[in-house]
Amino acid sequence: MNNCEDAYELTWTSGNSVAWTYRDCDNGSEVSLVTIDEGEHVLYEGEGTDLNISRIAWDFMKKFSK
């Protein structure tokens, strides 16, 4: 949908959790797939995970906010 041109790249890792990102997409957009190992629907660090999922999501999205 975003007409991404180049191959995706590994952009983040933490243990078995990873993010793969296409960077060269229409209108300066990026597309990422983040896979959180055993992440379930836990959003905050200390709530059954050592990752702050809300922070990871915001760090990605804030690049595109106006």
Higher pLDDT, 1 or 41: 1
Residue ranges covered by each domain of the chain: 9-64
18-55 pLDDT per residue, tens: 999 998 999 988 999 988 887 677 666 776 777 888 88
Rounded to whole angstroms, what are the CA distances from 18 to 2, 6, 10, 58?
A: 21, 19, 7, 16
DSSP-derived 3-state class of residue 8:
coil
The structure's pTM equals 0.68
